[in-house]
Structure 1
Amino acid sequence: MKKRSFLKSFNNAANGLVHSFKSEKNMRIHFAVAGIVLIFALIFEFSKLEFIALTGAIVLVLFAELINTALEYAVDASVGEFHPLIRICKDISAGAVLLTAFYAAFVGYLLFYDRLVPLGNNVLGAIHQSPIHLTFIAFSLTVMLVIALKSKYSKSRGSYFQGGTVSGHAAVSFLLATIVSFNSDSLLVISLAYILAILVAESRVEGKIHKPMDVFYGGLLGIIIGIIIFRLFG
């Protein structure tokens, strides 16, 4: 009987995790960031103590987000009408999540700084060593094409610099990543450049500034221009 009770409790807890992941955007963001961070921890061959510190910070953020979500549901279910104290209660619980996120960022800074600085220098060096005129031409063409496409297809929504059918942020981000790929021999550096570009594109969708296809078209545009310019003239 106790075994069944334990299994039922475990199943209920798992359902809570799944529900939180499916219904809360912030939880999905936390999981995505945690996954990326853990992958880099494996790449950089963290020690056992470093893994303990990193996973501890990740679990702390997820725990705080779960408590925050549960508290919001409990307050909404128990109170029929709005009260100023409800807003204060939710703000305080959200502040707890923010505090743990700052702590996790600090832990990540301590663990990754010495490893990422050389990579950052390699990325900047790769861009710096590329023919500057080709980079400038590729960037200028990308911006002009984005504005032209926005003016033609985005009259009903967005502006030249925000929203619209083609994401300029995604186009420029993937253009820079493509430039790095042409000027670096390090697979890790190239992967990092494209991961950063993907994160930029994802942020435009999460912020509801663009639709997924907008950032796809923008990213594709940046990649194509980068390949054409650096393949033909590089």
Structure 2
Amino acid sequence: MKPGKTRQGITKAFNAAIEGILYTFKFERNMKIHYVMAAVILIASLFSGFDKIEMLLLIFSISLVIISEMFNTAIEKTIDMITDEYHVLAKIAKDVAAGGVLIAALNAVVVGYILFYDKLTNVSNSLFNMIRSSQLHVTLICIALVLIAVVVVKALTSTGTPLKGGMPSGHAALAFAFATIITFLINNTVVSTLAYLMALLVAQSRIEGKIHTFWETVAGALLGVLVAISVLQIGQFFPMRIH
């Protein structure tokens, strides 16, 4: 094979691989979630002082989730190309591929939790104390801005009803507000993690039920956290009403 053809073949191979990555990002909702979470974790790692081994573990875990999701997509598309009818073997193949993604994701959660546990424990006290001691009106202004944004988006898009659907998710807001209050009152990393995990499950159930989109639940979660922080700020002046 001539060198020119070899280079052309390598270029086409790289282009095809990049197109595959872009396809999963554009058309696969779960891949968008994986990339957003990966970006958040990698940014957090910059402030965590990880050594080389810890960074390798973190990057490997993130890569494993993304690779598993890409293989899962490839298997699903191949099966859909072969048949558009229900077949028990097709279901098994898709379920097994999805199970691989789940195991990779759980592995990433465990690795991330172990790596960040000490960092979160050391930072949490100073962070929560800083929020508690900050000016009350700062938190209230943040909440007002979120509420204004929600009202504007609902007015522009006419999404959902006051009790169902639309921007933001009320269930997600309530769940994350509870998780934030538990975090401040208990001040225990394990309890806080479990509380936020339950809140995430509530948000995920709204997405899976097709009642809210991913971004509607994110908006609800942010709103709930801000409201909870505001309640705790007010609790400094009226502690018996909070405790």
Per the TM alignment, residue 164 of structure 1 is displaced from its structure 2 partner at its CA by 6.0
User: Quick one: which of 98, 108, 120 aligns to 1:116?
Assistant: 120
Q: Sequence identity of aligned pairs in percent?
A: 36
- Cα displacement string for residues 131-156 of structure 1 (whole angstroms, at most 9, x for unaligned residues): xxx9xxx9xxxxxxxxxx9xxx9xx9
Number of residue pairs matched?
196
Q: Is the 8 A contact 1:171 1:219 kept in 2?
A: yes
Please report the TM-score for the alignment, with normalisation by the length of structure 2.
Answer: 0.61
Q: Is the 8 A contact 1:178 1:227 kept in 2?
A: no
Matches within 5 A, 1:203-222: 206-207=207-208, 208-210=210-212
Q: 2:97 corresponds to which residue? A: 93
Matches within 5 A, 1:1-234: 1-122=5-126, 160=163, 163=165, 167-169=169-171, 171-172=173-174, 206-207=207-208, 208-210=210-212
Classify 1:214/1:70 alpha carbon distance in 2 versus 1 (closer, same or farther; 3 Å): closer
Distance across 2 between alignment mates of 1:217 and 1:103:
27
**Amino acid in the other structure paired with 1:29:** I
- Cα displacement string for residues 85-113 of structure 1 (whole angstroms, at most 9, x for unaligned residues): 11011001111111111111121122111
Q: Is the 8 A contact 2:165 2:212 kept in 1?
A: yes
Distance across 1 between alignment mates of 2:33 and 2:73:
14
Distance across 2 between alignment mates of 1:220 and 1:100:
30
Classify 1:78/1:56 alpha carbon distance in 2 versus 1 (closer, same or farther; 3 Å): same
Please report the TM-score for the alignment, with normalisation by the length of structure 1.
Answer: 0.63
Per the TM alignment, residue 174 of structure 1 is displaced from its structure 2 partner at its CA by 8.1
Distance across 2 between alignment mates of 1:53 and 1:84:
37
Q: Is the 8 A contact 2:175 2:224 kept in 1?
A: no
Distance across 1 between alignment mates of 2:111 and 2:54:
10
Distance across 1 between alignment mates of 2:232 and 2:107:
43
**Amino acid in the other structure paired with 1:21:** F
Q: Is the 8 A contact 1:75 1:86 kept in 2?
A: yes
Classify 1:31/1:178 alpha carbon distance in 2 versus 1 (closer, same or farther; 3 Å): same
Per the TM alignment, residue 16 of structure 1 is displaced from its structure 2 partner at its CA by 0.4
Distance across 1 between alignment mates of 2:99 and 2:228:
43
Per the TM alignment, residue 225 of structure 1 is displaced from its structure 2 partner at its CA by 9.7
What secondary structure is seen at the aligned counterpart in 2 of 1:109? helix
Distance across 1 between alignment mates of 2:100 and 2:232:
48
Uncovered stretches (5+) of structure 1, i.e. residues with no partner: 139-148, 184-195
Per the TM alignment, residue 123 of structure 1 is displaced from its structure 2 partner at its CA by 5.7
Deviates more, 1:93-102 or 1:120-129: 120-129
Q: Is the 8 A contact 2:171 2:203 kept in 1?
A: no
RMSD: 4.6
Uncovered stretches (5+) of structure 2, i.e. residues with no partner: 141-150, 185-195, 238-243
